[in-house]
Structure 1
Amino acid sequence: MDYGIEVRDQEAVVCLRGRLTFNDHGKLRTLIGEMGQNRARRQVLDLSSLEFVDSAGIGMLLIAREEMANADKQLILRAAGGQVKRVLTVAQIAKIVPIED
């Protein structure tokens, strides 16, 4: 997994690219730290370039949501497609984290 962050006023958009799996735990922890340090209240994970997510990746998204809530920020998932969208739907993530198209 790779990522890029663009901060605009009250929204930070993080574009995730590639695959989000157990092996990306360290990178995601670093990303969560960066998200917590920027000034934006809304932290948007743009999943349009994410090709694959496994159950560990889903768990890491939930950790990110919890960390953002602790920092008084909102985590939003955006533009999931293909396998990623199917996994998010099956896991019913929308009940916990808002998902935008």
Structure 2
Amino acid sequence: MDYAVQTATDGLHVTLKGRMTLIDHEKFRNVVDAIEKSTGSKCVFDLSGLEFVDSSGLGMFLIARDVALPKGMEIELSGAQDGVKRILQIAKFQTLFSVRP
């Protein structure tokens, strides 16, 4: 997985590309650290370049949510395509996150 974190006026914009699996846990820690340090109200994950996510990847989103919620920060997942979109639907992530096309 490749990622980029950008500061936006209302929080963070995180772009994820490639495959998000267990081996990306350490990389994702940097994203969680950015969420912890952010003073914004929103963190948008752009998933349009994400080709695959496994259960460990889903767990990483839950970790991000656990860090963001006490700060009053909303997590939005946007642009998921094909298989990633399907996995998010199966996991019912729309009940935990704001999920946008």
Shorter chain as denominator, the TM-score bin is: over 0.9
AA at the equivalent of 2:19: R
Equivalent residue number for residue 82 of structure 1: 82
Q: Counterparts in 2 of 1:1-101, with a 5 A limit?
A: 1-101=1-101
TM-score, scaled to structure 1: 0.93
Checking the alignment, whether the CA contact within 8 Å between 2:5 and 2:31 is kept in structure 1 is no
Percent same amino acid among aligned pairs? Answer: 36
Distance (whole Å) between structure 1 residues aligned to residue 76 and residue 84 of structure 2? 15
- Across the two proteins, how many residue pairs are aligned to each other? 101
Checking the alignment, whether the CA contact within 8 Å between 2:11 and 2:38 is kept in structure 1 is no
AA at the equivalent of 1:69: L
Would you identify which runs of 4 or more consecutive aligned residues in structure 1 move more than 2 Å?
A: none
Larger displacement relative to structure 2 (38-47 or 49-58): 38-47
**What runs of 5+ residues in structure 2 fail to find an aligned partner?**
none
TM-score, scaled to structure 2: 0.93
